[in-house]
Structure 1
Amino acid sequence: MNRKECCSICSREAEDGIYLLKLYICQDCEREMIDTPTSDPKYDFFVKQMKKAQRAMIPS
């Protein structure tokens, strides 16, 4: 039985994904991030989400 994790990008629970350092990224977001050109406004969204998730990992 697969365990569901919360995606650091879209905040949905998913069974299939990857860990980038300690950040979980679902398979859908991973694919979309890879396929999104830097000129697409969605690219900025992904960058902001990664920064936000990274900051959440840093202890206060």
Structure 2
Amino acid sequence: MSRKDHCSICEKETEKGIYLLRVFICEDCEEEMIDTPADDPKYDYFVKRMAKAHRSMIPS
């Protein structure tokens, strides 16, 4: 049985993806992040989602 995780970017549940500093990113978001140029407005969205995900990993 495969483990499913929730993507920190799109919040979909999937079996396929990567962990980046303990943050799970699905294959679709990973590919889109890699292909998004820094001057695209979507880039800022990815940066903010990653920052939010990393902040949630820091214990209070």
TM-score range, shorter chain: over 0.9
TM-score, with structure 1 as normaliser = 0.95
Aligned pairs for 1:1-60 within 5 A: 1-60=1-60
Runs of 4+ in 1 over 3 A off after TM superposition: none
TM-score, with structure 2 as normaliser = 0.95
Unaligned stretches of 5+ residues in structure 2:
none
Unaligned stretches of 5+ residues in structure 1:
none
Aligned length: 60
Identity of aligned residues (%): 68
Give the AA of the match of 1:43.
Y
Across the aligned residues of Structure 1 and Structure 2, the Cα RMSD in angstroms comes to 0.6
**Residues 3-60 of structure 1: per-residue CA shift (max 9 Å, x gap):** 1100011111011000011100000000000000001100000000000000000000
